[in-house]
Amino acid sequence: MARIAVLIEEDFEDSEYRLPRERLEAAGHDVVVAGPTAGSIYTGKRGDEKVAAEVATDSLAADEFDAVVVPGGYAPDKLRLDEDAVAFVREMNAEDKVVAAVCHAGSLLIDADAVDGRTVTSWPSIRVDLLNAGATWVDEEVVEDGNVITSRKPDDLEAFAASIAARLAGSS
Protein backbone atom coordinates (compact mmCIF):
# COMPACT_ATOMS: atom_id res chain seq x y z
CA MET A 1 0.00 0.00 0.00
CA ALA A 2 0.96 3.65 -0.24
CA ARG A 3 3.02 5.68 2.19
CA ILE A 4 1.46 9.08 2.82
CA ALA A 5 2.92 12.14 4.57
CA VAL A 6 0.44 14.40 6.35
CA LEU A 7 1.92 17.84 7.00
CA ILE A 8 0.85 19.59 10.18
CA GLU A 9 1.68 22.68 12.15
CA GLU A 10 0.02 24.39 15.08
CA ASP A 11 -3.67 25.24 14.52
CA PHE A 12 -4.40 22.74 11.73
CA GLU A 13 -8.11 22.12 11.10
CA ASP A 14 -8.87 19.13 13.35
CA SER A 15 -11.36 17.29 11.11
CA GLU A 16 -9.28 17.91 7.98
CA TYR A 17 -6.46 15.99 9.63
CA ARG A 18 -8.52 13.30 11.36
CA LEU A 19 -10.98 12.13 8.69
CA PRO A 20 -8.53 11.71 5.77
CA ARG A 21 -6.06 9.95 8.07
CA GLU A 22 -8.75 7.57 9.36
CA ARG A 23 -10.01 6.76 5.87
CA LEU A 24 -6.54 6.27 4.39
CA GLU A 25 -5.39 4.05 7.25
CA ALA A 26 -8.62 2.05 6.99
CA ALA A 27 -7.74 1.48 3.32
CA GLY A 28 -4.42 -0.02 4.45
CA HIS A 29 -2.12 2.90 3.75
CA ASP A 30 0.81 3.92 5.96
CA VAL A 31 0.24 7.48 7.18
CA VAL A 32 3.21 9.42 8.58
CA VAL A 33 2.67 12.73 10.38
CA ALA A 34 5.33 15.35 9.65
CA GLY A 35 5.82 18.73 11.26
CA PRO A 36 8.63 21.23 11.62
CA THR A 37 10.00 19.41 14.69
CA ALA A 38 9.88 15.63 15.18
CA GLY A 39 8.29 14.67 18.48
CA SER A 40 6.57 18.02 18.95
CA ILE A 41 2.88 17.99 19.76
CA TYR A 42 0.73 20.14 17.45
CA THR A 43 -2.78 21.13 18.49
CA GLY A 44 -5.69 21.59 16.12
CA LYS A 45 -7.32 24.99 16.02
CA ARG A 46 -10.46 23.61 17.64
CA GLY A 47 -8.47 21.81 20.34
CA ASP A 48 -9.98 18.42 19.45
CA GLU A 49 -6.76 16.92 18.14
CA LYS A 50 -3.26 16.85 19.61
CA VAL A 51 -0.85 15.15 17.25
CA ALA A 52 2.83 14.30 17.58
CA ALA A 53 4.97 14.79 14.51
CA GLU A 54 6.64 11.46 13.79
CA VAL A 55 9.22 13.05 11.53
CA ALA A 56 10.52 16.54 10.90
CA THR A 57 9.86 18.26 7.60
CA ASP A 58 13.61 18.58 7.05
CA SER A 59 13.90 14.79 6.86
CA LEU A 60 11.18 14.26 4.23
CA ALA A 61 12.16 12.92 0.81
CA ALA A 62 9.74 12.45 -2.06
CA ASP A 63 11.26 9.10 -3.02
CA GLU A 64 10.02 7.71 0.32
CA PHE A 65 6.34 8.69 -0.16
CA ASP A 66 3.51 8.14 -2.62
CA ALA A 67 1.38 11.08 -1.51
CA VAL A 68 1.25 14.17 0.66
CA VAL A 69 -1.91 15.45 2.34
CA VAL A 70 -2.13 18.97 3.73
CA PRO A 71 -5.01 19.78 6.08
CA GLY A 72 -6.27 23.34 6.28
CA GLY A 73 -6.78 25.66 9.22
CA TYR A 74 -4.09 28.18 10.09
CA ALA A 75 -1.31 25.59 9.76
CA PRO A 76 -0.75 25.90 5.97
CA ASP A 77 0.06 29.59 6.36
CA LYS A 78 2.72 28.61 8.90
CA LEU A 79 3.97 25.68 6.80
CA ARG A 80 4.49 27.91 3.78
CA LEU A 81 7.22 29.62 5.82
CA ASP A 82 8.88 26.24 6.44
CA GLU A 83 11.33 25.91 3.55
CA ASP A 84 11.58 22.15 4.06
CA ALA A 85 7.80 21.63 3.88
CA VAL A 86 7.60 23.78 0.75
CA ALA A 87 10.51 21.92 -0.85
CA PHE A 88 8.92 18.56 -0.07
CA VAL A 89 5.58 19.50 -1.64
CA ARG A 90 7.41 20.96 -4.65
CA GLU A 91 9.41 17.72 -5.04
CA MET A 92 6.31 15.53 -4.69
CA ASN A 93 4.59 17.58 -7.37
CA ALA A 94 7.63 17.48 -9.67
CA GLU A 95 7.68 13.68 -9.33
CA ASP A 96 3.95 13.57 -10.24
CA LYS A 97 3.00 12.05 -6.89
CA VAL A 98 -0.35 12.75 -5.25
CA VAL A 99 -0.48 16.23 -3.69
CA ALA A 100 -3.74 16.71 -1.80
CA ALA A 101 -4.81 19.94 -0.10
CA VAL A 102 -8.04 20.95 1.58
CA CYS A 103 -9.44 24.34 2.57
CA HIS A 104 -6.62 26.85 3.25
CA ALA A 105 -3.91 24.30 2.34
CA GLY A 106 -3.86 25.64 -1.22
CA SER A 107 -1.73 28.47 0.15
CA LEU A 108 1.12 26.01 0.71
CA LEU A 109 0.67 24.71 -2.84
CA ILE A 110 1.16 28.27 -4.12
CA ASP A 111 4.57 28.51 -2.47
CA ALA A 112 5.46 25.05 -3.78
CA ASP A 113 4.70 26.14 -7.36
CA ALA A 114 2.04 23.43 -7.65
CA VAL A 115 -0.97 25.40 -8.90
CA ASP A 116 0.12 27.37 -11.99
CA GLY A 117 -1.93 26.16 -14.96
CA ARG A 118 -4.09 23.86 -12.83
CA THR A 119 -7.75 23.88 -11.91
CA VAL A 120 -8.21 23.82 -8.13
CA THR A 121 -10.67 24.56 -5.36
CA SER A 122 -10.23 25.83 -1.81
CA TRP A 123 -11.82 27.82 0.94
CA PRO A 124 -13.05 30.99 -0.81
CA SER A 125 -10.74 33.35 1.08
CA ILE A 126 -7.66 32.11 -0.81
CA ARG A 127 -9.36 32.09 -4.23
CA VAL A 128 -7.68 35.33 -5.37
CA ASP A 129 -4.28 34.09 -4.14
CA LEU A 130 -4.69 30.93 -6.21
CA LEU A 131 -5.83 32.92 -9.25
CA ASN A 132 -2.83 35.24 -8.88
CA ALA A 133 -0.57 32.17 -8.77
CA GLY A 134 -1.90 31.06 -12.18
CA ALA A 135 -4.59 28.59 -11.14
CA THR A 136 -8.14 28.35 -12.39
CA TRP A 137 -10.41 28.31 -9.33
CA VAL A 138 -13.76 26.52 -9.21
CA ASP A 139 -16.29 26.06 -6.42
CA GLU A 140 -16.58 22.26 -6.36
CA GLU A 141 -16.44 19.59 -3.67
CA VAL A 142 -13.26 17.98 -5.01
CA VAL A 143 -11.11 18.88 -7.99
CA GLU A 144 -8.50 16.58 -9.52
CA ASP A 145 -6.05 18.08 -11.98
CA GLY A 146 -3.25 15.71 -12.79
CA ASN A 147 -1.63 14.64 -9.53
CA VAL A 148 -3.13 17.55 -7.54
CA ILE A 149 -6.33 16.93 -5.57
CA THR A 150 -8.03 19.86 -3.82
CA SER A 151 -11.15 20.29 -1.74
CA ARG A 152 -12.99 23.21 -0.12
CA LYS A 153 -13.98 22.53 3.48
CA PRO A 154 -14.80 20.00 6.21
CA ASP A 155 -18.17 19.18 4.62
CA ASP A 156 -16.25 17.83 1.60
CA LEU A 157 -13.90 15.54 3.53
CA GLU A 158 -15.56 12.22 2.70
CA ALA A 159 -15.28 12.97 -1.03
CA PHE A 160 -11.74 14.33 -0.58
CA ALA A 161 -10.53 11.22 1.25
CA ALA A 162 -12.29 8.94 -1.24
CA SER A 163 -10.61 10.75 -4.14
CA ILE A 164 -7.16 10.32 -2.58
CA ALA A 165 -7.81 6.65 -1.80
CA ALA A 166 -9.09 5.98 -5.33
CA ARG A 167 -6.06 7.64 -6.86
CA LEU A 168 -3.68 5.64 -4.66
CA ALA A 169 -5.55 2.40 -5.40
CA GLY A 170 -5.11 3.08 -9.11
CA SER A 171 -1.37 3.67 -8.75
CA SER A 172 -0.59 0.76 -6.42
Q: Give the pLDDT band (50/70/90) at residue 24.
A: very high
3-171: CATH homologous superfamily? Class I glutamine amidotransferase (GATase) domain (3.40.50.880)
Residue 9 pLDDT > 80, yes or no? yes
pTM beyond cutoff 0.95: yes
Distance set, CA 108 to CA 88, 101, 171 (Å) = 11, 9, 24
Asked if 103 is an active-site residue, the reply is yes
Among residues 29, 104, 152, 153, which one is catalytic? 104
Q: What is the pLDDT of residues 44-97, one digit of tens each?
A: 999 999 999 999 999 999 999 999 999 999 999 999 999 999 999 999 999 999
Asked if 29 is an active-site residue, the reply is no
What ranges do the domains of the chain cover?
3-171
Residue 171's pLDDT is 59
Contact 50, 43 (CB under 8 A): yes
Among residues 2, 79, 98, 103, which one is catalytic? 103
Contact 112, 93 (CB under 8 A): yes
Q: Give the pLDDT band (50/70/90) at residue 170.
A: confident
Residue 172 pLDDT > 60, yes or no? no
pLDDT-above-70 percentage for the chain: 99
